Structure formats: structure tokens, C-alpha cells
Amino acid sequence: MQSALALPSAAPTDSLVWSLLGLVFAAAPVVAWARTARTRNGGTAVGAVLAAAGALLVAVQHGWVTGVPRADAHLLFGVTAPLVIWCGVRWERARRGPASEKWERRRSRSAGVFGAYAGLTVVGSLVAFLLAGEANVPPKEAVPALPPGLVALSEDTSCGSSSCARTVIVGSRDGLTNAEIIRRLDHPSGWTCRANGWLLDRRDLCVNVAEVNGEVRLDVSLGDLI
């Protein structure tokens, strides 16, 4: 969330802090595995999987990969990364047998770190779930892309008792009638709804197209959870 302090550098500073925290969250499993791995082949294979998953998470964090809910991505990564490391430890143990006492101490420290890591993931997911229970204005990315020839004439946001909406007035460069514009938008009538997220955010994100007061309105609404 953005800082409430009215300082010129507050928003950029918050963004930088969250970016750094996200990078640490994504890199922590790779660092932990680098201190835990016992074999070159196993260490490289598991490390590559963790690095690829971490890179994908960073891409989701920065919006470079769209269509993946950020809260869900962090939950999935926070759960699967320790599982991947556990599988790597078991695989190396099967190939090389019991580890030395020194390595066991390192593994114990890594296990403690990942216990805290898993706890942070659970707490963060709970916070995300609670925050997702309220209605808020859908992001710009939730507005469907307009077909060629259609343009957004204006955009506005509003909130009611149980939902918020982003409304776009749609026009045509080619002189289409309102009925033709609605057909081009492929939502001729009624609401088209889906869950806003995969696991944590189950609010309904709905899209509706209608002619109101001689204008074609494209409404994207996000309701509360209850």
C-alpha cells in the first residue's frame, strides 16, 4: 500500500522498498539451497528450478507477466520453494548417504530460516485474504482491450455500498452505431463475471456493456467478498 505521508519522495521510496522486499523473498530459497546442497549436479538442478521460479515471481511482482494474481503467486512460491528444497535434500541423501555433522548443522539453520519463511508466507497470505474482502476500484489492467476501431472517450470510477466500478465510455472511429459497438465488444448483454484471483481473492470481477443515455458504457466492477 502507498504511504500516507505527504512527502514528495514517499511513493517512490515505498515502491523501492517493496521491490527490494519482493526480490529478497524470491532470492531467499536460492541462497538457502546454495548453503544446503551437497552435490554439484543436484545443487545445480535444484538451484536452476528455484532461480527460474524466483525470476518468474519477480516478473509477476513488476507486472511483466500479466494474468497472474500477485498474492497467489507469492503464496504458491512460498509453499513450493521449501518443497523443492526438501526434495533436493532427500535426493542427495539417497545418492550420497547420511551427511556430515557440519552439513547437518547447516541444514538445521536453513530449516529454521525456512520455518520463518513459511510463517511469513502464511501471515502475508492471511493479510492479503482479509484485505481482499473489501470492495475497491478495479485496476486499469482489468478493463478489456478494445477491438480495432473502437476508442475510449472518457473514463471514471465510482463506489457503492458493496462494489466499486471503473466505467469507460466507448466510441467508434468508423461511425459505428451503439448497437454495432456493443456487438464488437462481444458482451451483448448481461454481466460476465469471474473470480478476481485464484486462491486468496475470490471477489467477483464483472464486466458489463450497455447503452445508457445514448452512450456505450463499459463497466468493470469489483465487489466485496460477502
Q: Is pLDDT above 90 for 214?
A: yes
pLDDT digits (tens, 9 = 90+) for 74-83: 888 988 988 8
* Residues 170/155, Cβ–Cβ less than 8 Å: no
Q: Is pLDDT above 90 for 47?
A: yes
Which residues, 6+ apart, have CB-to-CB distance to 143 below 8 Å?
A: 166, 168, 218, 220
Please state, in angstroms and rounded to a whole number, the distance separating the CA atoms of residues 29 and 114.
8
pLDDT digits (tens, 9 = 90+) for 81-120: 888 988 888 888 888 777 677 777 777 777 777 777 777 7
Domain segments of the chain as ranges: 10-131, 140-223
pLDDT digits (tens, 9 = 90+) for 122-142: 777 777 666 655 667 888 888
Going edge to edge, which strands form the sheet with 215-223?
150-159, 163-172, 215-223, 204-212, 191-195
Predicted pLDDT of residue 127:
73
pLDDT digits (tens, 9 = 90+) for 154-206: 999 998 878 899 999 999 999 999 999 998 887 644 457 888 878 777 788 89
Predicted pLDDT of residue 177:
94
- With cell 526434495, the residue in question is 87
pTM of this prediction? 0.65
Predicted pLDDT of residue 4:
33
Pairing of strands 215-223, 163-172: antiparallel
Among 51, 54, 29, 41, CA closest to 91: 41
Inter-CA distances, 207 with 59, 182, 194, 225, Å: 27, 12, 9, 17
